[in-house]
Every structure is written in C-alpha cells, then in structure tokens.
Homo-oligomer: A and B are copies of this chain.
C-alpha cells in the first residue's frame, strides 16, 4: 500500500502520546489471525508492556492454534465512547506473536492487570503470548491517520 502515503499525517508528539496512551490503557483487543487462510477476529484480554502487549490464551480458543501456525497477527485496541464510533481513536498493530514461558513473575505481571485471570492462569491449557508490534496504524478520528514505528510506542 505504498500509494497510500498521502493518506497519512506526519507523525508528531501528539500522535505518539495518543498511541502510548492507547497501548497503556489496553485491557482487551480484537485479534485477527488466519484460519484456513481467511481472517478470523476474536477478543483477547491484554496486559500492556513496554512497547508490546501480553495476552493469555486457551487451547480451546480458535486463535491459539492459529497463532502457533502463523504468528503474524493483527491487534486493534482503543474503545469507542458515545456518538459516532469512528470519531474515537483506535490503533491497529501488526504484531508478531511468541508463546512465552508462564514463569511466576510473568504470571504475577499479567495478573496485576487482569486480576480475574487468577481463576485460570494456572491451567495447563492456558498460555502467555507476547505480541510485538511490527507495523502501527493509528487512527485518531476522521482525517487523523498516522503510521508509527515500534519505537514510537516507547516514551522517553
């Protein structure tokens, strides 16, 4: 989509701040994976990290096998409030998914954001998956589209 360059504004501090806010506030998102070569969208719970996100997935969920087979996924975060749903900011992250070890520290960190997951995080068929953004599409509302780089999600 190289012909779409003029559809995007130049990334500025305001866009970076919005992207960092959307990332840090994300508690859930819409995950797009490939199932039988077609897109398939499900809800996942999220724990924001430093420029990345972590989710906890079950072997019962269709996205889990899909991520094992094809780790390139898409994650949309940012929730609409009232009025036109398209007027509210959201961000699509093209991510690479990696199953990580469910160490006590990783579990504690996840539970700090998702305390209700205490009920099932210990089950053997639940897995922590780290989602690292490769491409970032920020939409701050009408006419406010940006492409960001992974480094833009790490403030400072």
Which A residues are closer than 8 A to B by beta carbons?
Answer: 1, 4, 7, 27-28, 30-36, 38-45, 60, 62, 65, 72-76, 78-80, 83-87, 90, 92, 94, 114, 116-117, 120, 137, 139, 142, 145
Contacts and interface: CB of A to CB of B under 8 A. Distances in A.
A80 B41 contact: no
Contacts of A28: 80, 85-86
- Copy number in the complex reads 2
11 contacts: A30-B30, A34-B38, A39-B41, A40-B94, A41-B41, A42-B90, A43-B80, A43-B85, A43-B86, A60-B145, A87-B116
Nearest to A134: B38
A1 B62 contact: yes
Q: SS class of chain A's interface: helix, strand, loop or mixed?
A: strand
Nearest to A85: B28
A41 to B, nearest CB: 4
B84 A41 contact: no
A34 B94 CA distance: 12
A86 B45 contact: yes
